[in-house]
Amino acid sequence: MTEAAVRIRGLWKRFGQQVAVGGIDLELPAGKFIGLVGPNGAGKTTTLSMVTGLLRPDEGTVEIAGHDVWRDPVSIKARIGVLPEGLRLFERLSGRELLGYSGRLRGLPGDEVDKRATQLLDVLDLAGAQHKLVVDYSTGMRKKIGLAAALLHNPEVLFLDEPFEGVDPVSAQTIRGVLERYTASGATVVFSSHVMELVESLCDWIAVMAAGRIRAAGTLDEVRGVHPTLQGAFLELVGANGRDTGSHLDWLGGGAAR
């Protein structure tokens, strides 16, 4: 039995009448590349926000490496790295300054921060843009500098909300390599994505969410079950098989304005 990196029990979050997360119990195994997948509005971001201490749950507990996220926030924050959705960065700092600031905030010595920042900027192909202000970065560059800031203190568990969105294929390959190396050393990556092929090729372990609940969780083979692809299993698990794909939009196409 593998040790759990993250233990979620009875997690709930409501926004008014809307139940965003409706009672999740989940243990995420340590040292794995874990994919959290689900359709739009399934509750992935809300779950990740509660798990990383960014959003207070209505009910339930989350433990990371045996520490309660909401009772022991300081020790948790030293152990995790987070690339949140809608990442807010210090826009008026350059990429290098941002890493310098993040590293010092984490209590790392200045020369170690400089060394790690140089290596991360190189690996993520941001060295040429390191003195540019973050406000002038492209979407993909923002993801990469956010990822570098999340990795700088070598966390035990890394949480990434849609890390590959807006990232070009070359950078995606690099990010993948960095993350594979990171998990091979025993660390855990938890990431959310809509791209099933990507999840299928990267993840050892998957949790499928829909309407605020976990529909399936386990190894890739367990979640795929009898389906040849994760996409097939996903569509069945979230109840989207046989859904109308727009056949009634008979006015669409052909280019003639009518």
Ligand X SMILES: Nc1ncnc2c1ncn2[C@@H]1O[C@H](COP(=O)(O)OP(=O)(O)OP(=O)(O)O)[C@@H](O)[C@H]1O
CA angle 41, 46, 52 (to 5 degrees): 150
Cβ neighbours, 10 Å, residue 180 = 12
- Structure tokens, 180: 């594979």
> Least distance in Å: CB of 17 to ligand X?
10
Q: Does 83 bind ligand X (CB under 6 A)?
A: no
By beta-carbon proximity to ligand X, the closer residue of 15 and 119 is 15
Q: Does 154 bind ligand X (CB under 6 A)?
A: no
Backbone angles phi, psi at 208, to 5 degrees: -105, 125
> Least distance in Å: CB of 247 to ligand X?
24
Residue type, 226: V
> Least distance in Å: CB of 191 to ligand X?
12
DSSP-H helix ranges across the chain: 44-51, 73-79, 95-105, 110-123, 139-151, 169-184, 196-202, 220-224, 230-237
> Least distance in Å: CB of 7 to ligand X?
20
By beta-carbon proximity to ligand X, the closer residue of 45 and 183 is 45
Stretch that binds ligand X, among 13-21, 60-68, 102-110, 250-258 (CB under 6 A): 13-21
Given candidates 2, 3, 15, 219, which one binds ligand X under the rule CB under 6 A? 15
Q: Does 17 bind ligand X (CB under 6 A)?
A: no
Cβ–Cβ < 8 Å for 154, 148: no
By beta-carbon proximity to ligand X, the closer residue of 152 and 217 is 217
> Least distance in Å: CB of 45 to ligand X?
3
> Least distance in Å: CB of 76 to ligand X?
20
Q: Does 185 bind ligand X (CB under 6 A)?
A: no
Q: Does 20 bind ligand X (CB under 6 A)?
A: yes
Binders in 33-72 for ligand X, by CB under 6 A: 38, 40-46
How far apart are alpha carbons 57 and 9 in whole angstroms?
Answer: 11
Contact letters for ligand X, residues 86-115 (x by CB under 6 A): ------------------------------
Cβ–Cβ < 8 Å for 98, 145: yes
Beta bridge partners of 27: 7
How far apart are alpha carbons 140 and 183 in whole angstroms?
Answer: 22
Residue type, 8: I
For binding to ligand X (CB under 6 A), which residues are involved?
15, 18, 20, 38, 40-46
